[in-house]
Amino acid sequence: MSRDMLLWDETLFRDPQVLEIDYVPEDLLHRENQMQSLVYCIKPALGGMRPVNCLLTGPPGTGKTSAVLKIFEEVEKRSDDVVVLKINCQIDSTRFAVASRIYRKLFNVEPPSSGVAFRKLFEKIVQRLIEKDKVMVVCLDDINYLFHEGHADEVMYSILRAHELFLGAKIGVIAVVSDTGKLYRFDPKVSSVFLPEEIEFLRYNYHEIKDIIASRVRLAFYPDVFSKDAQELVVDYVDSIGDLRIGIDLLKRSALNAEKRASRTVEIEDVEKAYESSRLLNLKRVIMPLSADEKKLLAIIAGMGRSKAGDIYEQFHEVTGLGYTRFYEIVNKLAELQHLDATFSGEGMRGRTRLIGLSYPPEDVLKCLKG
C-alpha cells in the first residue's frame, strides 16, 4: 500500500468541531471593533442596569451571529444575574414563537400550547425577571423574518416598553439584520424607545478571509493535510461569494472528499468537487425555514420559468387550494427576501402585468427543495 494512502482507521481531522456551523472560535478574527461596541452595549447589564440596544447589520456570513454568541458566552461566565438568549427568527417567526422561546429559557418548561395570548405570556416572562432580579438581553437574529409575518413591531414594543408597565423590568434587544436590499422600518412608537447603537459588519476582504481560513485549517486538521493550492482555492471561492460560512463548509467537504479517496492530503480536485454542494449552503439555509406553501410556490416557478402572475397563480391554486390574496402575500414576502424577482411589464388589459421569476438558477432551487 502506498504511503500516501490513508488507512481505514485514520483521519485528516484533528478537531472536526471547528468546522461545524455552530462553532464559535476562541478569537473572532477581524471583528475587534464590532466586539468592543457590543461589550460597550452589554456592560451595563453586568452592573444591574438595562443594556444599550443594538442593531447589527451586514451581509450573510460576516460574523454577526458569532460575535453575539461570543459576547453571550463571556456574560454567562461572569454573571448569574444576566440572562442572555439568541432567537433565530427564521425559525421562530411569530410573536408567540418568540415569547415561547423566552419563556422556556426562564422557566425551563414549555409554555401552555393553547389558550394563552401573547401579551399574557409576555407578562409572565417580565414578572419572572423582576421576581428573580434578573437583567435580560435578547438577540433577535434575522429579525427581518418577523417583519415578513407582521410581528416585529409588537415583539419589539413589548420588550422595549416592559419597564413602563412593570416597575423594575430590565430587558435589552440586539436586533440582527442581514442585508437584503430592503430597509426595515419600525413603527414610530418602537423607534422612539429602540434608539440602538448601530454596528456594521462589512464583508471580509481577501486578506481577512485568508487569515480566517488559515486559522480554521490549523485548528481543524493535522499539519500539512490541506495543500497550499487547495487552501488558496477555498479563499478565492469565499472572496467571490462573500459568505464565510460557505468557506468553512467547503473545508469540511473537501477533506471528506480526500478521505474518500484515501488520500493523506486535500488537493484542488477535492475542493472543486466540494464546491458544487457548498455553494448551495446559504440558499438551502434560507429556503428550509419557509412554509410548505412558500416552498411549493418556489417549485412551481422553478418549473414554469419567468411567467405572468396570473398563470403562476392558477398552478399555485391547483396545488394548494389557496386564494389570490394569500398568493399575493407569499409573492411579496419571497420578493422581499430576494428569492423572487417580481416586476411589472407594460402588457396586459390594464397596462400592467406582473412577471415573476426566480432570483437563482431553477436547478439550484429544486436541489435545495429536495435536500
Question: pLDDT, tens digit, for every residue of 356-365?
Answer: 999 889 999 9
Distance, in Å, from the CA atom of 270 to the CA atom of 277, rounded to the nearest integer, reads: 12
- Return the amino acid letter for 138: V
Residue type, 337: L
pLDDT of residue 342: 83
C-alpha cell at 271: 475542493
Q: What is the pLDDT of residue 346?
A: 54
Taking residues 85-95, report their average pLDDT: 92
Reduced to 3 states, what is the DSSP secondary structure of residue 137? strand
Query: What integer is the mean pLDDT of 157-165?
Result: 91
Residue-level pLDDT at 22 = 87
Please answer whether residues 371 and 284 qualify as being in contact, where contact means their C-beta atoms are separated by less than 8 angstroms.
Answer: yes
Q: Over the stretch 292-311, which tens digit does the pLDDT of each residue have?
A: 999 999 999 999 999 999 99
Please list the residues that pair with 5 across neighbouring strands: 263
Neighbours of 325 (CB within 10 A): 8
Indicate the range of 4-8, 26-30, 155-159, 169-173 predicted with least confidence: 4-8
Residue 92, CA atoms < 13 Å, CB-side half-sphere? 16
The residue-averaged pLDDT of 144-161 equals 89
Quick: pLDDT tens for 225-269.
999 999 999 999 999 988 999 999 999 999 999 999 999 999 999
Q: Tell me how far apart the alpha carbons of residues 359 and 106 are, in angstroms, rounded to a whole number.
A: 41
Average pLDDT over residues 145-161: 89
- Residues pairing with 173 in the sheet: 138
Q: How many CB atoms lie within 10 A of CB 215?
A: 15
In the prediction, which pLDDT does 8 show?
62
Q: Provide the mean pLDDT of the chain.
A: 90
Grid coordinates representing 57?
447589520
Which domains, ranges and CATH numbers included, belong to the chain?
Answer: 32-200 (3.40.50.300), 204-284 (1.10.8.60), 290-370 (1.10.10.10)
Q: pLDDT at position 306, please?
A: 92
Confidence of residue 1 (pLDDT cuts 50, 70, 90): very low
C-alpha atoms less than 13 angstroms from C-alpha of 105 in its C-beta half-sphere: 21
**What is the 8-class DSSP label of residue 52?**
P
The predicted model gives 42-54 an average pLDDT of 96
pLDDT tens digit sequence for 126-150: 999 999 999 999 999 999 888 877 8
DSSP label of 242 = -
pLDDT at 4: 67
Q: How far apart are CA 367 and CA 50, in angstroms?
A: 46
DSSP H or E run through 93: none
Using alpha carbons, select from 173, 18, 164 the residue that is nearest to residue 98: 173
Distance of CA 102 to the CA centre of its chain: 18
pTM: 0.85
What torsion, rounded to 10 degrees, do the Cα atoms 237, 234, 257, 215 define? -140
What pLDDT shows up at residue 180? Answer: 54
Look at residue 41 and tell me whether its pLDDT is greater than 50. Answer: yes
